[in-house]
Each structure stands twice: as C-alpha cells, then as structure tokens.
C-alpha cells in the first residue's frame, strides 16, 4: 500500500510463481525450496522466509523509471489497489 501511495513501481509475485521459478513446481514445499536454492545458488538458509527473499532477488533487477523495458521474467504489475 505504501509503494502504491508513493507511486513507486513494483511487481507482485504470487508464492506459486516464485516456487515454480525456483523448483519448477508451483506447489513445492518449503523444504524443497530450501534444497533447490542450495543446489542452484549454493546458498544455505535455515529460515524459509529468508530463502524466499533471496529467491525473489534472483528473479531479476527491480523495476526502474530509467529502464524502458522490463527485464524481469515476471512483468505482472499492480495497476490499482484492490483493497
């Protein structure tokens, strides 16, 4: 909500999309995510929330007003609030 109010561009990544990006399966369990991150990027996490945050960073650079075209593989943007 704060990003929207400040007119900061952002991308909404559903958990199933993040899981699919990391493991290839949108319904992967937390343990599978942890193991796949260790295997792909050689990073070991004991907290699945930190693992998710790290995985989000791997998607690509954040949107930028100076970048003409989105370089992130997921480009679904939130256009208006739904609350």
Task: Give the residue carrying structure tokens 């343990």.
Answer: 31
pLDDT at 67 over 70: no
* β-bridge partners, 11: 77
- Say yes or no to pLDDT of 60 above 90: no
pLDDT confidence band for 76 (50 / 70 / 90): very low
Contact assessment for residue 26 and residue 35, using Cβ atoms and an 8 Å cutoff? no
Say what the pTM is: 0.67
What is the separation of C-alpha 59 from the centre of its chain, rounded to a whole number of angstroms?
Answer: 6
Percent of the chain with pLDDT strictly greater than 90: 52
């Amino acid at each position: 909500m704060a990003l929207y109010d400040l007119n900061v561009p952002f991308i909404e990544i559903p958990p199933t999309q993040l899981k699919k990006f990391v493991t290839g399966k949108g319904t992967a369990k937390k343990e599978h995510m942890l193991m796949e991150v260790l295997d792909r990027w050689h990073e070991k996490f004991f907290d699945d929330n930190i693992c998710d945050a790290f995985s989000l960073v791997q998607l690509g650079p954040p949107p930028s007003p100076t970048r003409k075209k989105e370089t992130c593989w997921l480009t679904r943007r939130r256009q208006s609030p739904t609350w």
